[in-house]
Amino acid sequence: MIVMRISGIIVPSISANMLKTNNTPPSNYFKNAVEQENHPPEAPVIKGPTHGKVGVTYEWTIVSTDLDGDNVTYYVDWGDECGGAEWHGPYPSGEEVIITHKYTFRNNFIINAMAEDEHGAESDWTYFKFSTPRNRILHNSIVDWLLDRFPISRIFFRYCFNI
């Protein structure tokens, strides 16, 4: 007899010889099925930078523990519009994993992650904020400041100074 695990329940499968006899399983067939509950992993914990620059690759660590000791795979959605959702793993339960990502534009991002064990049980979602703030522009002169602050002043300076 072959044993299969379906959705956390161990179920004996019907063998080919069993089907050849009279197409009925033996009387103890369902008594051999042993129910084993599969617990989902804990929600992952993400540690790493909360802000950074565009075009730089950053590292975060992610970890989740499965109560049953099952291997864990992580689904991470980086929150950008570049199709950045990725699966990472599988990894042993409780092992810290380093994941990397590079943002290509400025914004405030929410990194969403969840863990899934090897039997398909999913954890709750975890959220982590990361931002790529705008750089402050330093003005070297009052004229530069005026031109940036009041774009219409460009017309005035061009007219007055033939620039």
Report pTM. Answer: 0.63
Segments of the chain assigned to CATH 2.60.40.10: 45-131
The pLDDT value given to residue 138: 52
Model confidence over 24-51: pLDDT tens digits?
Answer: 555 555 544 455 799 999 999 999 999 9
Domain 45-131 matching CATH 2.60.40.10: the answer reads yes
> What is the per-residue DSSP string for the chain?
-EEEEETTEEEEEPPHHHHHHTS---TTTGGG-EE---PPPPPPEEES-SB--TT-EEEEEEE---TT---EEEEEE-SSSS---EEEEEE-TT--EEEEEE--S-SEEEEEEEEEETTS-B---EEEEEE-PPPPPPPSSHHHHHHHH-THHHHHHHHHH--
pLDDT band at 52, cuts 50/70/90? very high
Express each pLDDT in 83-137 by its tens digit.
678 999 999 999 999 999 999 888 999 999 999 999 999 999 999 999 998 765 5
